[in-house]
Amino acid sequence: MSDKKIDLQTELIHHPYQPPAHFEAVPPGIFKASTVLFKDVAALRSRSWKSRQGYTYGLHGTPTSFMLEERLATLEGGTHCVLAPSGLAAITLVNLALLKAGDEVLIPHNVYGPSREQARSLLAPMGVSWREYDAGDPAALAAMGTPRTRLVWLEAPGSVTMEFPDLRALVKAAQSFGAVTALDNTWGAGLAFRAFDMGVDLSMHALTKYPSGGADILMGAVVSRDEALAHRLLQMHGVLGLGVGANDVEMVLRGLTSLRLRYEAQDRAGRTLAGWLGEQPAVTQLLHPAFAGSPGHPHWASHCSAAAGLFSVMFDARFAPTQIDRFVDALRLFRIGYSWGGPMSLVVPYDLSTMRADGHTRLPGHLVRFSIGLEAVSDLQADLAQALRAAFGD
Ligand SMILES: *Cc1c(COP(=O)(O)O)cnc(C)c1O
């Protein structure tokens, strides 16, 4: 066929230009695909998405998504990783891969809220029963297990109230009745402690937080180091059709290159501000696991070498809720919003009475959670000071 006979439309698609074969640069090349082309029918027939050997279809992986999965497995000290379109989708993937009707899952009393809601609204109607256990009491967890208990979720520290559990003891308790353990490792980010050294089977991570670092990406991952578990996750991943966009993967790959620097900076700033705020007269309790007196501090000290830039404080119960709202509204640099790990410091007041089941210690007072960004610490401290004056007069 001579070139003249080819339509311009066709020529634009079958263009002879090839990018340089040995173009080397610092960032990896980014590959996007729904369709993956096979050189012949034999190649088409011999490759299956279920094995993940080679590429079959964009939904089941590209060089770009495989690269992020490999780097995350390395970060967490595991061998296998699957990506999901959000942290919550990664939780869903674990639940659906490991639980079926008749099984039971146990979740910590201070679990990430949407995870509990998923147990209530998705798992229970499927016939999977769920109960909460006291994350501060490994012996109680050991006593709860039944032959139907297949999965135990762990979180370190607990959401919002920041209690650091004795992870090793909780894992042992779960192993005593043969359950798989899955850790929500978003706070540790693969940096504060080695999840697999604690004995957990699965480490789930909301990449939305520190790995993205930009408050602009939603993504999640599940890392494992067991072939059979990894296989179950992959099968369910393919069945659910959990795709992630290459542009988002590219952003997380880029974020990973500065992950440790940002995590350490936010840890330092968080401890400076938490220490200062904890001493203000309006505050009755600091909830930051790296501080003595915070719940679970000895466990943090025995498990961790670092902390996320995330903490809560209890304001004195003598204040009216409207005064707490006034404090939060008076902040100028701390903006009101969910999530953490991004460049901008964030604040959220939480009503614990709606978040914890009866029977769990209710901390007295009003809880406010702070996520420390990358602003200058002196500016953040001045912001907290002016808002304290505006709301409480001290
Ligand atoms: C944010 C978060 C999630 C969920 O991540 P999304 O990407 O927002 O769905 C899960 N667990 C913890 C502890 C989180 O902080």
Best of 116, 154, 209 to mutate for ligand 1, by most ligand atoms within 8 A of CB? 209
Task: Give yes or no for a contact between 150 and 98, defined as CB atoms under 8 angstroms apart.
Answer: yes
By C-alpha distance, which of 369, 385, 368, 389 is closest to 377?
Answer: 385
Q: Which two tokens stand for residue 321?
A: 């809720």
Q: Please state at what angle helix 321-330 crosses helix 377-392, rounded to 10 degrees.
A: 140
pLDDT digits (tens, 9 = 90+) for 277-324: 999 999 999 999 999 999 999 999 999 999 999 999 999 999 999 999
Best of 86, 159, 208, 217 to mutate for ligand 1, by most ligand atoms within 8 A of CB? 208
Q: Please state at what angle helix 227-240 crosses helix 87-98, rounded to 10 degrees.
A: 110
Give me ligand 1 centre to Cα 160, in Å: 12
380 φ/ψ angles, rounded to the nearest 5 degrees: -65, -40
Q: Which two tokens stand for residue 32?
A: 């996007």
Give me ligand 1 centre to Cα 212, in Å: 12
Give me ligand 1 centre to Cα 339, in Å: 7
Give me ligand 1 centre to Cα 312, in Å: 17
Q: So what's the pLDDT on residue 67? A: 93
Assigned CATH topology for domain 259-392: Aspartate Aminotransferase, domain 1 (3.90.1150)
* Cis upstream peptide for 157 (omega within 30°): yes
Give me ligand 1 centre to Cα 340, in Å: 9
d(CA 129, CA 118) in angstroms, rounded, equals 12
Give me ligand 1 centre to Cα 232, in Å: 22
pLDDT digits (tens, 9 = 90+) for 79-121: 999 999 999 999 999 999 999 999 999 999 999 999 999 999 9
Ligand 1 atom closest to the CA of 206, numbered from 1: 5
- Range list of H helices, the chain: 8-13, 41-46, 63-76, 87-98, 113-118, 124-126, 138-144, 167-176, 227-240, 246-256, 259-278, 297-303, 321-330, 377-392
Give me ligand 1 centre to Cα 182, in Å: 14
Of 372 and 29, which is predicted with more confidence? 372
Alpha-carbon separation of residue 293 from 20, 143, 276 (angstroms): 59, 28, 15
Q: What number is the average pLDDT over the span 261-274?
A: 98
Task: Give yes or no for a contact between 174 and 143, defined as CB atoms under 8 angstroms apart.
Answer: no
Task: Name which residue sits closest to atom 15 of ligand 1, judged by CA.
Answer: 186
Alpha-carbon separation of residue 51 from 92, 192, 333, 386 (angstroms): 22, 33, 49, 58
Give me ligand 1 centre to Cα 322, in Å: 28
Chain region(s) in the chain for CATH 3.40.640.10: 41-256
Q: What number is the average pLDDT over the span 227-235?
A: 96
Task: Name which residue sits closest to atom 10 of ligand 1, judged by CA.
Answer: 87
Ligand 1 atom closest to the CA of 88, numbered from 1: 9
d(CA 316, CA 335) in angstroms, rounded, equals 22
Chain region(s) in the chain for CATH 3.90.1150.10: 259-392
* Burial letters 335-361, b for 16+ CB under 10 A, else e: eeeeebbbebbbbbbbebeebbeeebe
By C-alpha distance, which of 227, 169, 231 is closest to 200?
Answer: 169
Q: How many degrees, rounded to 5, is the angle at CA 271 between CA 339 and CA 308? A: 40
**Burial class of residue 305 (count of CB atoms within 10 Å of its CB; 0-12, 13-18, 19+):** exposed
By C-alpha distance, which of 14, 240, 63 is closest to 5?
Answer: 14
pLDDT digits (tens, 9 = 90+) for 194-220: 999 999 999 999 999 999 999 999 999
pTM, full prediction: 0.95
Give me ligand 1 centre to Cα 12, in Å: 43
Residue whose tokens read 């992986």? 61
pLDDT digits (tens, 9 = 90+) for 310-322: 999 999 999 999 9
Ligand 1 atom closest to the CA of 86, numbered from 1: 7
Task: Name which residue sits closest to atom 5 of ligand 1, judged by CA.
Answer: 87
d(CA 158, CA 385) in angstroms, rounded, equals 27
CA 152 to chain centre: 17
Q: Please state at what angle helix 259-278 crosses helix 377-392, rounded to 10 degrees.
A: 30
Binding pocket residue ranges, ligand 1, CB within 6 Å: 86-88, 112, 159, 184, 186, 206, 208-209, 218, 220, 339
Calculate what percentage of the chain has a pLDDT beyond 70.
97
Q: What number is the average pLDDT over the span 258-271?
A: 97
User: Is residue 276 pLDDT above 90, yes or no?
Assistant: yes
Residue range 41-256, CATH number: 3.40.640.10
Task: Give yes or no for a contact between 81 and 132, defined as CB atoms under 8 angstroms apart.
Answer: no
Q: So what's the pLDDT on residue 146? A: 96
pLDDT digits (tens, 9 = 90+) for 134-172: 999 999 999 999 999 999 999 999 999 999 999 999 999
* Burial letters 142-163, b for 16+ CB under 10 A, else e: bebbeeebbbbbbbbbbbbbbb
Classify residue 222 by its DSSP letter. E
Ligand 1 atom closest to the CA of 209, numbered from 1: 1
